[in-house]
Amino acid sequence: MTEITPQPGPRLRVLILGGTSGIAEATARLYAAEGADILLVGRDRTKLDTIAADLGVRGAGRAEVAISDLAAPADAAAELSGFAATLGGVDHILVAYGILGDQAEAARDAAAAERIMTVNFNSAAAWCLAAANLLESQGRGSLVVLGSVAGDRGRRQNFVYGAAKAGLAALVEGIAHRFAATGPRAVLVKPGPTITAMTAGMTRKGLLWAKPEAVAAVVRRAADKGGPVVYAPWFWRFIMLIIRFLPASIFNRLDI
């Protein structure tokens, strides 16, 4: 009797916008372990090349880089189409870049506030809409976008950044609703405070701080299954539920 050897399935083709972010790099390593083809997009070629080389060692089928100023896309749809062509098609798209900015500066300087909004909402929205059109045209695939728990309620410590993330949340949830009967999926992942370069100036101690690897595991699962909004780690869903429903008389006394 002839033994039939199972043939491996096609490799996932993964596009990561913001490939040098800590969460993106940790997520890319998970994809690499699956043998996926990965295209990392960002501005820092040296860092992207280093990450790509590491992904190759970790098992990626292909690990390539593309240089783009994601915060100022001239034509997001055309660029995205080019990225997909480089991969030979795309299955998963991760939008993972952003800036925290300085709330005190943004509160007094309109240009600083505009920069936070432009990077975290305007440009991200352009990429998300382009990705939605691409995935809808092929009838399959996943768009996963990194949001933030900061978007759940305006707080004095980061309300400009939070406003941008709140807008992005509404956009991605709308795309998920649009996809409901068409095949692709869109997911917003809302991390809590995470130990990455973005939070380097903060006191990063306590049980509420997550490592990028923990958030990456949530991101990777979200590309395959789950609802349109996922918190990372999971307990932030309940923390933010409490914060959202606190009466203003109590909320306004909190220094958060």
Rounded-to-integer distance, Cα 78 and Cα 39, Å: 16
Residues marked active site are found at 161
| 249 alpha carbon, distance to own chain's centre | 34
Mean pLDDT calculated for residue range 193-214: 79
φ, ψ at 233 (rounded to 5°): -65, 170
Q: Cβ distance 41 to 82 under 8 Å?
A: no
Q: In the sheet that 13-17 helps form, which strands lie side by side, from edge to edge?
A: 62-67, 37-42, 13-17, 92-95, 142-146, 185-191, 229-232
Rounded-to-integer distance, Cα 59 and Cα 221, Å: 19
Q: Taking 80 as the threshold, does the pLDDT of residue 202 lie above it?
A: no
Rounded-to-integer distance, Cα 89 and Cα 34, Å: 17
Stretch among 81-95, 108-122, 158-172, 186-200 having the lowest mean pLDDT:
186-200
Topology (CATH) of 13-249: Rossmann fold (3.40.50)
pLDDT in tens, 93-126: 999 999 999 999 999 999 999 999 999 999 999 9
Mean pLDDT calculated for residue range 20-24: 96
pLDDT more than 90, % of the chain:
86
Rounded-to-integer distance, Cα 162 and Cα 94, Å: 20
Other CB atoms within a 10 A radius of the CB of residue 43 amount to: 15
Q: Taking 70 as the threshold, does the pLDDT of residue 9 lie above it?
A: no
Residue 225: HSE in the Cβ half-sphere, 13 Å Cα cutoff? 0
Please, which residues bridge with residue 231 across strands? 190
Domain ranges of the chain: 13-249
Q: Cβ distance 147 to 215 under 8 Å?
A: no
Q: Taking 50 as the threshold, does the pLDDT of residue 4 lie above it?
A: no
pLDDT in tens, 37-63: 999 999 999 999 999 999 999 999 999
Q: Cβ distance 83 to 90 under 8 Å?
A: yes
